[in-house]
Amino acid sequence: MQNKVRELRLQGRSPKEIARALKVSPSVVAPLVRAIAAESTGTAEPEVVGCWVNVGWSAGLGVDPARGWVDEQPGTAEGMVSVLVARRHTWDRMTLCGYLVDAYCLGVKNAVGPEVCDDRELRRYREYFFGEYAGWQEVPIELARHLVFGSIDYARKLGFEPHEDFAPAADALGKWEGDAAITFGRDGKPFYMEGPYDDAAKVLRTLRRSLADDEFDYVTGG
């Protein structure tokens, strides 16, 4: 199966597309994709071509000033942070992964990739990916790593696991050492804002298993 996965990967197929073509679960394909990527790069991580987040990413968060991470338009977003990472795949193509982060409560709500694309496809997708924000900015991969993995660590303490699509996309961020330089929650306090696909009652039950009602805030309904 690994040879077939390798062949389809070279054609630019995503892990989900490969899983459909082979009629297996994405969880079967994901480790094979990672193993194939490791074959071509040895022990070194593929080069980071670019890393971007939406402007306003820092709203409500505590950020270690020693890191020098700058939010180009602070206050223009509210807790929902999108992160996009591109790494070198071949000389003219790259692997793209994206993450939707609820930095106030739930951690990683969704993830996409790895998808293989060229420069033109990257530019087009980036405009779409950040289309609901005031804009986007290029940032160090370290900031992306702390936003995504740090939010997961924070959410797990509240009882939430990352979206199932995160696992295939995780490697694009690089190795996580823990100890985030970001304080999550809105001004340090868990804050849940209901999304269009959330089971809000389940989220609130989970929060109340680990926190008292006055230890978190929430907004539900229209």
The angle subtended at Cα 64 by Cα 58 and Cα 70, nearest 5°, is: 45
| pLDDT score for 19 | 86
Identify the pLDDT of residue 39. Answer: 62
Mean pLDDT, the chain, whole residue set: 90
What is the pLDDT, as a whole number, of residue 204? 96
| C-alpha closest to that of 76 among 155, 147, 123, 130 | 130
Q: Parallel, antiparallel, or unpaired for β 80-90 and 62-63?
A: unpaired
Quote the Cα angle for 150-152-154, to 5°.
Answer: 70
Strand partners, 115: 96
**Residue 220 tokens, joined:** 């539900």
Domain boundaries, the chain: 45-219
Range 6-27 average pLDDT? 80
Contact 56, 71 (CB under 8 A): yes
pTM to 2 decimal places:
0.79
Pairing verdict, β 48-54 and 191-193? unpaired
What is the structure's pLDDT at 38? Answer: 65
